[in-house]
Amino acid sequence: MLNFTTNMLNLRIIILVFFLTYSCSKNSQKPLNVVWVSCEDMGPILGSYGNDIVKTPNLDKLASEGVRYTNAYSTVGVCAPSRFSIITGMYPARLGAHNMRTGDYHNYKTPEEVSYRKNIGVIDKEGKNIPEYEVVPPTHVKPFTEILRTKGYYCANNFKCDYQFNAPFTAWDEVSSTVSYRDAPKDKPFFYVWNTLLTHESRIWERSNQPLTVIPEDIIIPSYFPDIPEVRNDIARKYSNIEAMDKKVGELMNQLEEDGVLDNTIIMFWSDHGGNLLRQKRAVGNSGLNVPLIIRYPNKMDAGKVDERIVSLMDLGPTVLSLLNIEPPKHYDGKAIAGPYEDDPREYAFGTADRFDESTDMQRSVLDGRYVYVKNFLPELPLIYRNKYRERITMNSKLIQMDSLNMLEGDAAYIFMKTKPVEEFYDLANDPYEVHNIIDNPKYSKRINDFRAALENWQKEINDQGFIAENKLVKSFWPNMIQPKTENVDFKIVEDGLYKLTTLTNGASIGYQIDEKIGTNSWSLYHEPIRIGDKQKIVARAIRIGYKASGITSN
């Protein structure tokens, strides 16, 4: 059976390589482009995933022309740790990036624009104040986009970063709210990320005055919410925002087609984590981690296929590299799910939940598409904790008020449990809303033990940093609470006009600018000696993730 599975995997890879090669040959040997369409805070509730209340014709068309993944998961049910895993291909809990969030790094800032507040109202498990900081991963961990840049790809991000560290100036050719794939030089293929904020949690209240395109009476209410007007109205707003997002996706797809690049571009659509309401965003179960994922190939290979493999958002970067015939680094936790370097499928997805803004907890989960196992390391805490940000949503504050008055019952009361069981186990086939804990059901004892063992082994393998108080993590990144600084770049002449650039800071990346680029925010990524004319000028600076950038030096 193993040989058969291996042979089938090899056959799929051969077929995929053939089709991608054929696609390139049809387009005059042009390298493939990749476009990521990234949305926020949304589970798989599109029309193509079976929700007939939300009208998403553009994404449904994308799914009909591509591969739709049903068991795709984020590593954390909130933005920054999830996006850390996406840009690095690594588990946040392995590298101490699991707490939400470490600083104001939503969008790219130049090194001179970065600042850190010493008091943001955050206290860790030991009662210690936590200032803003940046995660400092090991020296071999870098944004996967740097690999693409060394291979000649123009990498542009419109425009969210939010990586638990300020995005290095070496990660992207450009990050802005106006950059487009159209800005790519004519001789370069592109990797373009288009982010839409329309489905973000904050848009529930920020777009509250916009017309609803979904009637509140028509919406589907999860059983863990009571059927009250506030709930219906906010879910209708959520659904309406999804429909607005779908229209924007349609505009982007039309633009790609009109520009003649759609037939040479791989499209990948995904959400950074699950839903944006209570028991969804920040949750460690299926409602918080399960996301939509669609991949459309230029030749519509496998059009309409449904793939039930367990996939992590960490797999996105390795998959892009593999599809472009670039071998992913061996240290990645992420796995390529397509292309010549496609990896063996996962058995489980693992999730984490720790500090979210001012609220601290510690939960871990194991999911396999059918069952969800949750371990609560602080069971004395309530499941729904107070969080100022999410309570700006009308229904959230209303439900908290109702709970305080003992007005909730049944499944709606379940999610407001005042303490948590040490373990939870849910069968999604019979309990899609995860409200019937069957941890003590002997029928599932063997399967539960398998999940327990999987979690224990995974936590040992990654050396789960959730057990370490956050103040100690910060000190491990920034000794004595002082941010380290990257050493300046040195110029060495290899031969006439050929310069080698180096820095003494291990793990740092080097950016450089020549002539008219000097003084702009656009830095080329140094990866091999550079030839400079006699009258040309070059400047360079270095950056290691989490460190201060070096000064700017010149030849």
Catalytically annotated residues: 79
Q: Which 3 state secondary structure label does DSSP give 543? A: strand
Containing H/E element for 10?
Answer: helix 2-26
**Which residues have a Cβ under 8 Å from the Cβ of 426 and sit 6 or more positions away?**
285, 286, 371, 372, 434, 435, 436, 437, 438
Tokens of 40: 């926020």
- DSSP designation for 329: P
Closest CA to 411 of 434, 435, 428, 437: 435
Q: Which 3 state secondary structure label does DSSP give 113? A: helix
Can you tell me the distance from the alpha carbon of 375 to that of 350, in angstroms, rounded to the nearest whole number? 11
495 beta partners: 498
DSSP 284-338: SSHHHHEEEEEEE-TT-TTTTEEEEEEEEGGGHHHHHHHHTT-PPPTT-SS---S
Q: Tell me the pairing of strands 265-271 and 349-353.
A: unpaired
Tokens of 345: 């499928």
Residue 544 contacts residue 511 (beta carbons within 8 Å): no
Angle, helix 57-64 to helix 229-258, in steps of 10 degrees: 60
158 beta partners: 194
Name residue 283's amino acid: A
367 beta partners: 349, 372
Neighbours of 268 (CB within 10 A): 22
Q: Which 3 state secondary structure label does DSSP give 91? A: coil
Tokens of 89: 């291909």
Give me the helices (H) in 380-444, please: 394-404, 411-414
Buried b (16+ CB within 10 A) or exposed e, 222-259: bbbbbeeebbbbbbbbbbbbbbbbbeebbebbeebeee
Q: Which 3 state secondary structure label does DSSP give 472? A: helix
Beta-sheet strand order (sheet of 363-367): 349-353, 363-367, 371-376, 423-427
Can you tell me the distance from the alpha carbon of 285 to that of 352, in angstroms, rounded to the nearest whole number? 9
Residue 129 contacts residue 108 (beta carbons within 8 Å): no
Q: Which 3 state secondary structure label does DSSP give 492? A: strand
Q: Which residue has the tokens 């005042």?
A: 418
**φ and ψ at 91, to 5 degrees?**
-65, 130
Q: Which 3 state secondary structure label does DSSP give 356? A: strand
Q: Which 3 state secondary structure label does DSSP give 419? A: coil
Name residue 301's amino acid: M
